[in-house]
Amino acid sequence: MNTTNLAEALPRVYEQPQEEKTIIALKDVSIYYGSFQAVKQASLDIYEHRVTAFIGPSGCGKSTVLRSINRMNDMIRGSRIEGSVRFHDHDLYAADVDPVLIRRKIGMVFQKPNPFPKSIYENIAWGARINGFRGDYDELVETSLRSAALWDEVKDKLKQNALRLSGGQQQRLCIARTIAVQPQVILMDEPASALDPIATGRIEELILELKNSYTIIIVTHNMGQASRVSDHTAFFMVDEKRRGYLEEYAPTEQLFLNPAHKKTEEYISGKFG
């Protein structure tokens, strides 16, 4: 398989599937930073057009696993991965796969809102431009901002620097920026942890809406948030060697109401974490 095949292999338009269809499959994924093993043999399937939440105590490797899905970990010096991550049944870590193309298909929203220090308009348009978008930019900016529920607030100040928006607006702009390049999957690394409750609520509403068009994986510390927005929840734990591992993975309702493992129950009932 080469990179062009991957690009062609990715369907462009999606319909909401009724049955659960695996889009990303992690198999025995272990991640190392130098000699330190951060994640131990995690295996799980991510379903298309569903919201999957990663929860767990600090240092359990949930963000690390998330970043392995669009190869963001490549940026960290000394990081190494074992096992396989497959996207539409293509190995994301095959030697001939271009990480840039993966990030184009699997977008990311970060913990701290990090818009480009450019205008609101340019924040949306830049990603599209470098990816060779040939449509109407004004339209793209408007659609993306509308999808991120930000249009009404910023339509009169598109030329204004994005850094002058509030934290919650900046984070929605980051989501709009990610949507603008039309990925299939959006990874969200604690997207609301730096925001106040009202802004958090808006992000959660937004996630529920985006689910119709995208597959979303969200890392969160907030269990209420996981139960409100997600369809499936993966609970990660730390073992005695400080290695993160997947303790339990189940539909959200089942995991929160009827957890199979004792540790899961203790965690969600607030006994530790």
Partner 1 sequence: MLSETLFGTDEMMTSLMQKRKAGGVVWKVVFLFSTSLAILFLLLLLVSVIDSTFGYVAVRNEMEPSQLVAGKDAVSEFSRAELETVLQEHLSSGILRRVLHDKPLQERSKTDLVSLAQQYVVKPSVVRSWGLGDSLLDQKSIEAFMAGNEGLHLTFRSWINWSFFTSDQSANPLNAGVRTAFLGSLWIIMITFVFAFPIGVGAAIYLEEYAVDNKLNRLLQLNIFNLSAVPSIIYGLLGLAVFVRSMEHITSGAFLSSVSDTTANGRTILSGGLTLALLVLPIIIINTQEALKAVPDSLRMSSYGVGATKWQTIASHVLPASIDRILTGTILALSRALGETAPLVVIGASTFISVDPSSIFSKFTTLPIQIYQWSARPQGAYRNVAGAAIITLMLLLMAMNSFAIIMRDKISKKKRMES
Q: Which residues bind partner 1 (CB under 8 A)?
A: 70, 72, 75, 77-78, 100-101, 103-105, 107-110, 112, 114-119, 126-127, 130-131, 159-161, 163, 174, 177-178, 180-181
Measured CA to CA, the distance from residue 129 to residue 126 in angstroms comes to 5
Least distance in angstroms from the C-beta of 64 to partner 1? 14
Q: CB burial class (10 A; 0-12, 13-18, 19+) of residue 240? A: exposed
Tokens 């509030």 belong to residue: 166
Q: Could you give the 3-state DSSP secondary structure of residue 69? A: helix
Of 88 and 261, nearer to partner 1 (C-beta) is: 88
Q: Tell me the backbone φ, ψ of residue 26, rounded to 5 degrees.
A: -100, 130
Cβ closer to partner 1: 159 or 271?
Answer: 159
Which among 49, 14, 25, 61 is positioned nearest to 244, based on CA atoms? Answer: 61
**Considering beta carbons, is residue 94 or 100 the nearer one to partner 1?**
100
Of 160, 91, 100, the residue nearest 127 (C-alpha): 100
CB of 117 to partner 1, least distance (A): 6
Nearer to partner 1, 124 or 237 (CB): 124
Closest separation in Å from C-beta 75 to partner 1: 7
**Residue 248 parent element (H or E):** strand 244-251
Nearer to partner 1, 110 or 245 (CB): 110
| Amino acid, res. 109 | V
**Closer Cβ to partner 1, 134 or 241, answer by number:** 134
Q: How far is the CB of 246 from partner 1 (least distance, A)?
A: 25
Instruction: Note whether 62 and 244 are within 8 A (CB).
Output: yes
Shortest Cβ 148–partner 1 spacing (Å): 14
CB 103, min distance to partner 1, A: 5
Convert 37-63 into a string of H (helix), E (strand) and C (coil): EEEEEEEEEEECCCEEEEECCCCCCHH
For residue 105, the minimal CB distance to partner 1 (Å) is 8
Nearer to partner 1, 145 or 255 (CB): 145
Q: How far is CA 88 from CA 45, 220, 231, in A?
A: 11, 25, 20
Q: Is 150 helix (H, G, I), strand (E, B) or coil?
A: coil
